[in-house]
A and B are shown apart, each in its own frame.
Chain A
C-alpha cells in the first residue's frame, strides 16, 4: 500500500502534517500529531503489530521530531513508550540508547536507562560498571544528581557489599559534589567511615599534604609521621572530611540560589533575556569558583552542557563555553566539535557571532585559511540580504594579500561589473550603452572572483564601503574616498544597499558637506529601494544635521524641504502627506499617480472603487443660509450612477 492511500484513512493526520510543513516550530501541532499517534497505538495495539508499513509511518513522525530537536526529553520518553507498545522492550531500549547518544546531558534518560539495565540485569557486572562511569561523566554533577547516585550506590551495595572498598570509593566521590541532597551522602559516609582504615579513604599524599597544611607536626618531626597518623587516625579522618563536607554544604546552598530559578528544560519557545541572564550569572559564579580553587573542572563543564539544554538556540552560552575552553587550553578537537554542533545544528543563521568566533578560532589556532574562506563564503551565500559577513570577509582577506592596491581595484571592478551585467534592469536610458567601455573589467584575485559569484544587489555595495573605509581611515585620502563613492552614486548596485548609503552619509557628516548630504538624502528618499525605516532614519539624521549646521539663510531657503522631511518621518502623518514615499511608490516617480490610487482605494485599501458619487456644487456650510431670496441652485453630480457599484478587489499575481 502506498503512503498516500494510508494517509487518506487518517484525515486528521494528513491535515496536521500539512500544517507542520509550514510551521515546524509549532509545538502545539507536534503535540497534536504525536497524541494522535499515541491514541491510535493504544486503541489498536494488537492490530498494528501486523501492519508493518503503518507502524513505520507512525514512528517516523516522532523520529523526525527528536532528530530535529534532540533535547526534547519528553518526546524521547513518548517515543520510547510508543516503541515499547509496538515492538517490545528490546527495541525500545535501542531507542533509549540512541537518545543517550544524541542527548547525553539528560539526567532523566540516563536514570531510565540505568534502571532498566540494572533491574533486568541486561548486562554483566563490568559492562554495568562502565555504564555507570560513563553516566557519571555526563550527569554525575547535576544538582539533582541524587537520582543517579542512589541507583549507583544501591547497585554497588548489592554487588560489592556495604563495607567494600568499591562502595566506599563511590561514596568518596559523591560526598565531594555539591548536590541538592548532599546531606544524605555525608550522613552515610560518617556512619560508614569508622569501618575503614585511614589509608582506605585518604590517599597518603593527600594526607601528608593536609597534615603539613594544618601544621599538626613541626617539620623536624617528619620521621614520626606514620606513628602520628596511627595514633591520631580517628581525629585526622574527622578533621579532613569535615573540611570537605563543610565546603560542599556551603556550595550547595550557594548553588541553590541559582538552581531554584533557572529554566532547565528545552522547548521551542525562544529563551527570554531574563532566563538567559540567570544562566549567565550562574555560570559566572561557577567559573569564578573554579578559577580560585583546584576543584574538579568537570563540575563546571557539566554545568555548561546543562545550560545549553534550554539555551541552545541562543549563541550566548555557546560563546561563553567555547571561550572558557579556549582560555583554559581545552583540546582543539573538543572545541571544534562544540563549534560544529552550535553552527550546524542549533544556533539559527541570523546569529552570526558564534560563526565569526569559529572562523577566528580556525584562523588563529588551527591556522587553516582555506577553511575560513569556505565558511565565510557559505555564510555569505546563506544570508544574501546581509552586508556584515561580506565586510568581515574582506577584512579577513585584506590582511592576507600582498598588493592592497590591486585588491582594492578588484573590489571596485566587481561593483562596476555588477552594474554592467545588470544594465538592462538598472538603466533604461540608452545613453549609457554607448558609453560602455571596451576595456574588459578584470578581476584578478581568485578569492574575490569566487565571492563575486554569490553577491546580490543587497550586499554588493558593501565592497565599495570596504574599499572606502580603507582609503578614508587607513590611507586618509578624503578625495579618493569621495571619488569612489561618487562613481557608483545612483547606480543599480547600491540602490538597495543600506551600508553604502549610511556610510556615505556618515562620511559627509564628518566632512560637514552640506551639498552632498542634501544630494544623498534627496537620492535616497526619491529613488532608492531601501526599506522605509532606513530611509526615514537618514531623513531624521539629515534634519538633525540641518538644525545643528545650517545658517539662518540656508534654513529659510530650505524651509519647505525640511517641513516635508518632518511630515515624511512622523508616524502621525497621514499617508498622503508622505510625499517622498509616494514618489518612490509611483512607477513614473510622480506622486499624483499614488494619489489617484489612494483616492480609489479610500476606505478599503487594496480594493478599487471606480467613481465616488459626488455633489459638485454643494451649498457652502460656512455661509449664511438665507443670503439670497430665491431658491438655491439645483444640485449637480458626478458618478451618481456608480453609487451601487461594488469595490473591485485587486488580484495581483505575485
Chain B
C-alpha cells in the first residue's frame, strides 16, 4: 500500500504519535491514543469533531485500516477492536473484507461471545436467505453454546426464528437451550413450559416424538384426540421437563459459584489479575474436568461425554482470553491434552501460547522442545531452539536443552558444543555470565555420551577456573564418577573451622 504522507491531514500530530507507537509497540496506551487520533483525523483541529466516514478521502480510510491491522497483529486478543476493525470495512462498503475480518478474528478467538454476536449482527444485515442464516446461527451456537452468558446470543437466535415463523425450529432450539446450564436458565424454561401449555396437535409433534409416545406412554397420535389423554400427555411432559429443569438448575448454580468470582471479561494488555480470580479459573476448570472423568459417566453415554469435552474446551478458551499472558493456563491446557496422550494438540496449544507470551516466560518454550523430542521431531526441536537462542543468545536453560537434542541426533557433538560455548563465554569477559555457564560442568557429568576421559580433558582445559560450579563438579567427578581421591582440598567453612 503506497501512502503519500503529504496528503494526510494534521500529519505532524499523526506522525509524531505513530513514531512513538513504532518505538514502543508494547505500550497499549499509546496505541489507544493513535486509534483515537486516526479515527478523528480530519477534524482534529475543529470544534465539532466527526469520525472518518465513507465520504472521507481514500488516504484517511487507508490510515484507519492500517492502524487497526497493526494493532491487532501486536495484540490479537482485543475482541472489541476486531469488531471495530470489521465495522470500518462495513462503513467503507467493503463487505467481503468485513466478513473476512471476523473470520480472521475467530481463528484466534474461536469462543469469543462478543465477536460472534457482532458477526451475527453483520450477517443479519447482509443475508436475506433464512436457511443460510440458520446455518450461520448454528455455527455460532456450536462455538459459544456453552458460554455461561450465552443468553444474549440465544435471544437473538430465538427472536430470529420467531420472526420468520419457523415454529418447529423454535421448539427444537428451545428444547436444546434448556439443557444448558447458564446464567439465564430460568427464562428459557418458562418459555418452554408455555410451549407445552399452548401446544396444539401440530406443535405437540415438536415436543415429543412418536417413538417416545409409544414407548413411554403406549399412545398413538390418534389417542391424543381423547381429551383425558391430551391432558395426561401435557402433565407428563411438564413432569419430565421439570426434572430437566432441576438438573439444569443444579449445574447452573454450581457454575455460578465460580462465575460470580470472575470480574474480568476481556483481554487487556499487561493486565494483572487478582489471585482470587486466577484461583477461581483454576478451580472452575478442574471442577468441570472432573465432571468428565471416566468414573462420572458411563461408556454408552457418548453425547454426555462429547458435550462435557466441549464444555471443557469452552471454559479453557474463555479463560485463556483473559489469562493469555499467564503461562500457567497454557501449560494446564497443554497438559489436559497430554493426559489424553494427544501430543499433537498439546504442541499446537503451546505454540499459540508462545506467540501470545513474552519471551521471558521460558517454560512454554522448554516444554514445547521436550514434546518435540518426545515425538522424535528433532529437526523441529532444533530449529525452534535456534530461533529462541537468537532472541536469548546466552540463556543457559535453552543451551542445556540444545545439548539434550544434540545427544539424540549427534551425540559425539555434545562435548564439542560444551567446549565451544565455554570458550565463547570466556571471551565475553562477563564474570556473571561465566559463573552461570560454569553450570555446564555439572551438566556434562550427566551425559553418558561423553567419556570419562573426555570429561577429564575438559576439566583440565579449564583448570584455571575457580567458580563454585566448576569446583563442585570437579569434586563430584573425582569422588563418585572416577571414584578416586579428590585432588581438590576440602576447605572447611561455616561451623567446620580450620583451626581444629
Contact = CB atoms under 8 A, between A and B. Distances in A.
A361 B290 CA distance: 59
A510 interface: yes
Contacts of B328: 572
A631 B294 contact: no
A540 to B, nearest CB: 12
Interface string B306-350: 110010000000000000000011011001101101010000000
Given A545-B446, A563-B341, A572-B335, A637 B208 contact: no
Contacts of B304: 614-618
B470 to A, nearest CB: 19
A619 B210 contact: no
Interface in A31-51: none
Contacts of A273: none
Nearest to A556: B376
A326 interface: yes
Contacts of B426: none
Interface of B: 134, 138, 141-142, 145-146, 168-169, 171-173, 175-176, 179-180, 205-212, 216, 240-241, 243-244, 246-251, 254, 257, 283, 285-287, 289-291, 293-298, 301, 303-304, 306-307, 310, 328-329, 331-332, 335-336, 338-339, 341, 343, 370, 373-376, 403-404, 407-408, 446-449, 479-481, 483, 494-497, 499-500
A578 to B, nearest CB: 10
A572 B205 contact: no
Given A323-B497, A602-B291, A631-B175, A549 B338 contact: no
Given A509-B446, A621-B307, A622-B142, A598 B290 contact: yes
Contact of B374 (A559, A621, A634): A559
A590 to B, nearest CB: 12
B371 to A, nearest CB: 9
B289 A560 contact: no
B247 A613 contact: yes
B373 A573 contact: no
Nearest to B248: A615
B190 to A, nearest CB: 17
B303 A630 contact: no
The binding surface of chain B is classed by DSSP as helix
A239 to B, nearest CB: 40
B247 A631 contact: no
A200 B60 CA distance: 100
A574 B285 contact: yes
Contacts of A354: 495
Contacts of B480: 472-473, 506, 510
Contacts of A625: 138, 141, 169, 172-173, 176
A637 B247 contact: yes
16 contacts: A356-B495, A473-B483, A570-B331, A572-B335, A574-B290, A576-B290, A577-B338, A621-B307, A626-B168, A631-B206, A632-B175, A635-B241, A635-B244, A637-B244, A640-B247, A643-B249
Interface residues on A, range: 35 or more
Given A549-B446, A552-B376, A599-B290, A621 B247 contact: no
Contact of B494 (A319, A472, A476, A573): A319
A493 to B, nearest CB: 24
Contacts of A616: 298, 301, 304
B246 A613 contact: yes
Contact of A635 (B145, B179, B206, B293): B179
Rank and list the top 7 A-B pairs by shortest CB-CB distance, nearest first. Answer: A357-B495, A572-B331, A353-B495, A572-B332, A547-B404, A595-B295, A574-B286
Interface in A349-366: 353-354, 356-357, 360-361, 364-365
A512 interface: yes
A591 B118 CA distance: 46
B209 A632 contact: yes
A544 interface: yes
Given A549-B447, A577-B339, A596-B295, 4 more contacts: A549-B407, A573-B339, A598-B290, A621-B176
A10 interface: no
The binding surface of chain A is classed by DSSP as helix
B374 A618 contact: no
B499 A326 contact: yes
Q: Choose among B171, B173, B211, B304 the residue with the greatest number of A CB atoms under 10 Å from its CB.
A: B304
Interface in A561-615: 562-563, 566-567, 570, 572-577, 592, 595-596, 598-599, 602-603, 612-615
Given A326-B499, A567-B339, A621 B483 contact: no
Contacts of A549: 407, 446-449
Nearest to B483: A476
A506 B341 CA distance: 30
A516 B360 CA distance: 37
Contacts of A624: 138
A548 interface: yes
B172 A615 contact: no
B407 A548 contact: yes
Contact of B209 (A357, A562, A630): A630
Contact of B180 (A361, A621, A633): A621
A327 interface: yes
Given A563-B338, A614-B304, A599 B448 contact: no
Given A555-B374, A617-B304, A619-B175, A634 B500 contact: no
A620 interface: yes
A361 B497 CA distance: 10
A327 B306 CA distance: 76
